[in-house]
A and B are shown apart, each in its own frame.
Chain A
Amino acid sequence: MSDLNTAMTERYRSSFLKEVEANVEEGEWVKMCMQCGVCAGSCPLGNAWEHTPQKLFMMIRAGKREAVLSSDAMWMCTSCYNCIARCPRGLPITHIMHGLAHYAKRLGLSPKNQPTQQFAQIFWDNLMKKGRVNELKLGLSMYFKDGFGQGIKNAMANQKLGQNMMKAKRMSAMELFGGHSIKDTSGLQKMIKKAQEIEDAKIQGNS
Chain B
Amino acid sequence: MTEVIATNQTILVVGGGISGLTAALEAAETGKQVVLVEKRPYVGGRVTQLYKYFPKLCYPTCGLEINQRRAKMNPNLTILTMAEVTDIQGEAGNYTASVKLSPRYVNDNCTGCGDCGKAVTAEFDDEYNYGMGKRKGAYLPHRMAHPQQYVIDPAIIGTDDAEKAKAACKVNAVDLDMQEETVSFKAGAVVWATGWQPYDANKIQPYGYDRFSNVITNVEFERMADPNGPTGGKILRADGSPAKNIAFIQCAGSRDKNHLLHCSRICCMATLKQTHYVQEALGDEGKSTIYYIDIRAIDRFEEFYQTVRENPNVSFIKSKVASIVENRANGNPVLKGVDTEGYHRYENEHDLVVLAVGMQPSVDKASFPVDIVINEEGFIEPASENGGIFAAGCSSDALDVNRAVQQATGAALRAIQVVNRVAGTEG
Q: Check if A41 sits within 8 Å of B257, measured CB to CB.
A: no
Check A38/B322 contact, CB under 8 A, given A46-B345, A54-B338, A86-B206.
Answer: yes
Contact between B339 and A37, CB atoms less than 8 A apart: yes
B144 to chain A, nearest CB (A): 38
Q: How far apart are A68's CB and chain B's nearest CB, in angstroms?
A: 14
Interface string of A64-92 (1 = CB under 8 A from B): 00000000000000000000011111100
> CB distance A54 to B343 under 8 Å?
yes
B375 within 8 A of A: no
Task: Report whether B337 and A37 are in contact in the complex, using a CB–CB cutoff of 8 Å.
Answer: yes
* CB of B256 within 8 Å of the partner chain: yes
Contacts of B320 in A (CB 8 A): 36-38, 41, 88
- B338 in contact with A47 (CB, 8 Å): no
B340 close to A (CB within 8 Å): yes
- The answer to whether A89 touches B338 (Cβ under 8 A) is no
Q: A34, A40, A42, A88: which contacts B343 (Cβ < 8 A)? A: A40
Per the bound structure, the CA–CA distance linking A87 and B255 in Å amounts to 10
Residue of A at shortest CB range from B250? Answer: A36
Given contacts A34-B293, A88-B256, A88-B258, contact A42 B323 (CB under 8 A): yes
- Residues in chain A near residue B392, CB distance under 8 A: none
Q: How many residues of A contact B (CB 8 A)?
A: 19
Residue contact A36 to B206, C-beta cutoff 8 Å: no
**B100 sits at the interface (CB 8 A):** no
B83 at the interface (CB under 8 A from A): no
A40 touches B338 (CB 8 A): yes
Residues on B with beta carbons closer than 8 Å to the beta carbon of A88: 251, 255-259, 320
Which residues of chain B are near A94, meaning CB under 8 Å?
Answer: none
Quick one: CB contact mask for B297-331 with A, threshold 8 Å, 1 for yes? Answer: 00000000000000000000001111100000000
Quick check: is A181 within 8 A (CB to CB) of the other chain? no
Beyond A42-B322, A52-B343, A90-B257, whether A37 also contacts B338 by CB under 8 A is yes
The reply to whether B336 and A41 form a contact with Cβ atoms under 8 Å apart is: yes
Kindly report which residue of chain B lies nearest to residue A51, judged by CB atoms. B343
With CB as the reference atom, state the residue of chain A lying closest to B338.
A40
Contact B340 A37 (CB under 8 A): yes
B345 near A47: Cβ-Cβ < 8 Å: yes
Q: How far is B322's CA from A52's CA once the two chains are assembled, in angstroms?
A: 13
Q: How far is the CA of A54 from the CA of B259 in the complex (A)?
A: 21
Once the chains are docked, how many angstroms separate the CA of A89 from the CA of B255? 8
Q: Does A185 contact B (CB under 8 A)?
A: no
Given contacts A34-B293, A47-B345, contact A41 B256 (CB under 8 A): no
Query: How distant is the Cα of A87 from the Cα of B256 in the complex, in angstroms?
Result: 8
User: Does A89 lie within 8 Å of B322, measured CB to CB?
Assistant: no
A55 located at the interface, meaning its Cβ lies under 8 Å from any Cβ of chain B in the complex: yes
Binary per-residue interface labels of chain B (338-355) against chain A in the complex, 1 for a CB within 8 Å, 0 otherwise:
111001010000000000
Residues on A with C-beta less than 8 A from B259 are: 88
For residue A35, CB closer than 8 A to chain B, the reply is: yes
A54 to B340, CA, bound (A): 8
Cα separation A44 to B345 with both chains bound (whole Å)? 12
Question: Is the Cβ of A41 less than 8 Å from the Cβ of B340?
Answer: no
Q: Could you say which residues of chain A place their CB within 8 Å of the CB of B337?
A: 37-38, 40-41
Contact B336 A89 (CB under 8 A): no
Of all chain B residues, the one with the shortest Cβ separation from A36 is B320
Query: Hey, which chain B residues are within 8 Å of A35, CB to CB?
Result: 293, 340
CB of A89 within 8 A of CB of B257, answer: yes
Most buried by B among A47, A52, A88: A88
Top 9 A-B residue pairs of the complex, sorted by shortest distance between their CB atoms: A41-B322, A88-B256, A41-B337, A36-B320, A40-B338, A90-B257, A37-B319, A37-B338, A36-B293
Give me 29 A-to-B residue pairs in the complex whose CB atoms sit less than 8 angstroms apart, sorted by A's number. A34-B293, A36-B251, A36-B293, A36-B319, A37-B320, A37-B322, A37-B337, A37-B338, A38-B320, A38-B322, A40-B322, A40-B345, A41-B319, A41-B320, A41-B322, A41-B323, A41-B336, A41-B337, A41-B345, A42-B206, A42-B322, A52-B338, A54-B343, A85-B258, A88-B255, A88-B256, A88-B257, A88-B258, A89-B257
9 extra A-B contacts, CB within 8 A, seeds A52-B343, A86-B206: A35-B340, A36-B293, A37-B338, A37-B340, A38-B337, A40-B343, A41-B322, A52-B338, A88-B256
